[in-house]
Amino acid sequence: MVFTGKLINLLADGVYLYRITLYPMNHTDIQRKVDWKDLRHLTVPEMLIENNLTIPWLLVSWVLAWKGYYLAALPFSAFFFLTALRQVHNGFHQSLGTHKRLTWLSLFLNSVLMMASMNAVKYNHIRHHKYCLSEEDYEGKSASMSWYGAILYGPVHMFHIHRVTLQTANKKYVRNTLLELSAITVFATTVFLLDLHFLIYHIIVMLTGECLMAFFAVWTVHHDTTETPELARTQRGTWKNKLTFSMFYHLEHHLFPAVPTIKLPELAKRIDAVLPDLEKKQTF
């Protein structure tokens, strides 16, 4: 935690006394101190990376699964899920560098491939930023649980994400969520009717990933931060962030949600330089 001070000059018996009143920096204070607005913009190569990062992992996992090498396909499927999560997460914040229609298409296609409505996840994620770790934050419910509780809560978490969207969101979110759920149903039904074993494998792995979201996407980056929910956990260390595709720069994301993931390593450097005493709880 970083504190700033206010100097108060007091006069007592002809002697000047000084009292420093300390108070924690808030979100706005940090935004004013860090130069970040230039990081919102993507170059063409960066835009191509953010929008196509998932393709190699998906294709290799499908080829290996098609040949029956399921164990070999598993890490590629896991990295597809992780990079797809990065892609849709940027899409939630309009940070893919593309037109809104292409962003919508990205969310739709990834909904089918990831076996969950990304518009439902988006609705709850935007609320998560607004009501972070409060009663209104349905996405963040697992943050206060134990690690194993968050894992067990996973299937319930995904059910509530869709339920809350259908019950409380506006017509646009509800329409997109129903469209995505319908497309998922058609895709899954076709795969099982045609007995496409490599896609059956894919569906099982993706559903498993969705059931672990309450742990990996919420608990790991928010546990033990309820006193200062805007200061989420983060990650330092080159190889760890490369392995996780920079998805654990969560402190940086909550402070500056408009910054695309590909720019978060640079943002982290700027925060460290300007605010070296800012509390940075590690993810792992």
**42, part of any domain:** yes
Please compute the mean of the pLDDT values over residues 118-130 and round it to a whole number: 97
Rounded CA-CA distance 283/43 in Å is 29
* 16, 139: one domain: no
**92, part of any domain:** yes
**87, part of any domain:** yes
Q: What is the DSSP string of 168-225?
A: HS-HHHHHHHHHHHHHHHHHHHHHHHTT-HHHHHHHHHHHHHHHTHIIIIIIHHHTT-
Please compute the mean of the pLDDT values over residues 4-19 and round it to a whole number: 48
The DSSP 8-state label assigned to residue 93 in this structure reads T
Rounded CA-CA distance 50/161 in Å is 25
* 15, 144: one domain: no
* 20, 63: one domain: no
pLDDT score for 1:
53
* 145, 22: one domain: no
* 205, 251: one domain: yes
Report yes or no: 270 and 35 within 8 Å, Cβ to Cβ: yes
* 75, 123: one domain: yes
More confident residue, 56 or 11: 56
pLDDT at 15 > cutoff 60: no
Report yes or no: 248 and 241 within 8 Å, Cβ to Cβ: yes
Report yes or no: 162 and 123 within 8 Å, Cβ to Cβ: no
**Average confidence score pLDDT of the chain:** 91
Residue 109's nearest CA partner among 136, 80, 129 is 80
Q: How many CA atoms, within 13 angstroms, populate the side-chain half-sphere of residue 130?
A: 9
Rounded CA-CA distance 252/272 in Å is 11
**146, part of any domain:** yes
**257, part of any domain:** yes
Cα dihedral 266, 269, 273, 274, rounded to 10, equals: 60
* 19, 100: one domain: no
Give me the residue label for tokens 């978490």. 157
pLDDT at 114 > cutoff 90: yes
* 12, 110: one domain: no
pLDDT at 26 > cutoff 90: no
* 103, 16: one domain: no
Range of the domain at 13: 1-27
**212, part of any domain:** yes
The DSSP 8-state label assigned to residue 282 in this structure reads B
pLDDT score for 25:
64
Query: How many domains does the structure of the chain reveal?
Result: 2
Rounded CA-CA distance 267/250 in Å is 11
Q: Is the dihedral of CA 267, 98, 202, 212 positive or negative?
A: positive
**205, part of any domain:** yes
**180, part of any domain:** yes
* 44, 167: one domain: yes
* 75, 3: one domain: no
pLDDT at 117 > cutoff 70: yes
Q: How many CA atoms, within 13 angstroms, populate the side-chain half-sphere of residue 70?
A: 9
* 159, 207: one domain: yes
The predicted-structure confidence for 216-260, as pLDDT tens digits, reads as follows 999 999 999 988 888 999 998 889 999 999 999 999 999 999 999
